[in-house]
Structure 1
Amino acid sequence: MKLFQSDYLFHYPWDQVTAANWQKYPNELSSHVISVDILGRSIINNHILRTERLIGCKQSIPKWLSFIVGGQSISYVREVSEIDLNNKSLIMKSMNLTMNHLLLVKETVIYKPDLQLPDLQTTFNQSAEITAFAGVSKICDKLEEWSIERFGQNAKSGKLAFENVLNQLTEKWEQTGVFKDSD
């Protein structure tokens, strides 16, 4: 098993970040995401919105890996998120459904208001556990190393894409008066 960890600071308030989260796909910088379907929504304890989504992705894999696992080009991820309005947190947990008997990726993302500037910035904490299952440990190691590298590249471009979406939505919200101070 290999671990991935990333922390980031979005220079947008938590309310805007969590609202934009539902509108981040499709976007030109995350063209690998080809579908997002809501499987269910519920309210827990009158203040937590729980959403389960199925996300379809199209990504190419290296030839050596395709040779081992087959050439499946579309993969699916199950994401369960909980927005806690009382504690101002958004926790998203996702896991790949495709090929998870060979490679299991469990990701957790947490958005919270920044402790220093809670009305202006949002912290982003991302972690992932990546585990390969194969009879040969060298293959597992190679697959996990490649997956960690790929996950890191995707995480970097994902943050950039989300910044882009946040910027576009903020401009739109400013024009329409959404998220305006009530002072």
Structure 2
Amino acid sequence: MRLFQNQHVFDYSWDCITAANWKKYPNEVSTHVVAVDVLRRELDTTGKILTSERLITCKQSVPQWVMMLVGGSNISYVREVSVVDLNEKSLVLRSYNLTGSNLLKVYETVKYTPHPNDPENRTLFEQEAQITAYATFTKVCNKIEEWSVNRFHENAEKGKQGFDSVLVILDESWKQTDRIVDGLVEKVDETVVDLKKTTDIFLKETEIKSSKLATYYGYFSDAFKRSNDMNSDGN
């Protein structure tokens, strides 16, 4: 058995990384991944834990001697089960190969968590793969495992580059959305200010009109009172 381990820090928040994970494929770098199909998706009763099962289809160049061992096909399938836990703030993806598993088994675990030193802005990526070959001769097993580790390393590098490209695109999209929202908020604020000014002017005009009306009412009331007094004296 061979063990492959990898670690990387993304300069994005865990929330951004988790959202971008569902948009990771297809991308222009990881061309070996040709399809991703969702088989199952479940949300627990608390609404905090999302479990997804996906079938990943890969197509890549394979050495002739490997093609002969696995049956002469360069198409392979991988089953992936991921768990997003909002309570723990973790995204864990576990996968294993379905194709050629009688000859080679690859168990991979990927984990995304907020970086311990900067949890608001950075995300820690941890990857581990256990690669085990099954063959009659040890020399053949070693050769298969060595080739698999090298290929896994290449794909991991492509995966990182591809994810980086997706993050750049999504980050610009998020910033554009933020600018639109900020613009809308600014417009709303301006409208509220204008409405307040209009309301203040209306209230002031109403107050002035009410004051004049009250004055006129006083004049009319006094005049009416004097008229009644004069009529009473005349009688």
Give the match for residue 62 of structure 1.
63
Within a 5 Å distance, the mapping from 1:91-110 to structure 2 comes to 91-110=92-111
Distance 2:27 2:153 in 1: 19
Give the match for residue 26 of structure 2.
26
Give the match for residue 156 of structure 1.
157
1:2 pairs with 2:6:
no
Distance 1:95 1:45 in 2: 28
Deviation at 1:68, TM superposition (A): 2.5
Deviation at 1:32, TM superposition (A): 1.1
Give the match for residue 44 of structure 2.
44
Give the match for residue 88 of structure 1.
89
Deviation per residue, 1:29-54 (Å, 9 max, x gap): 01111111100011135211000000
Distance 1:69 1:121 in 2: 41
SS at match of 2:153: helix
Give the match for residue 112 of structure 1.
113
Give the match for residue 171 of structure 1.
172
Deviation at 1:69, TM superposition (A): 2.5
Structure whose alpha-carbon radius of gyration is higher: 2
Give the match for residue 35 of structure 2.
35
Deviation at 1:73, TM superposition (A): 1.6
Distance 2:171 2:138 in 1: 48
Deviation at 1:60, TM superposition (A): 1.4
SS at match of 1:56: strand
**The structure with more helix, counted as a fraction of residues:** 2
Do the aligned partners of 2:110 and 2:128 also contact (CA within 8 Å) in 1? yes
SS at match of 2:29: helix
Distance 1:154 1:142 in 2: 18
Distance 1:91 1:33 in 2: 20
5+ long unaligned stretches in structure 1:
none
5+ long unaligned stretches in structure 2:
182-235
Deviation per residue, 1:118-167 (Å, 9 max, x gap): 01000000000000011111100000011001101110111111011001
Distance 2:107 2:65 in 1: 23
Runs of 4+ in 1 over 2 A off after TM superposition: 67-70
Distance 1:122 1:110 in 2: 10
Give the match for residue 146 of structure 2.
145
Give the match for residue 79 of structure 1.
80
**The structure with more strand, counted as a fraction of residues:** 1
Count residues with an aligned counterpart.
180
Q: How many percent of aligned residue pairs carry the same amino acid?
A: 54
Distance 1:65 1:14 in 2: 38
Do the aligned partners of 2:67 and 2:74 also contact (CA within 8 Å) in 1? no
Within a 5 Å distance, the mapping from 1:122-137 to structure 2 comes to 122-137=123-138
Q: Bigger shift: 115-124 or 43-52?
A: 43-52
RMSD (CA atoms): 1.5
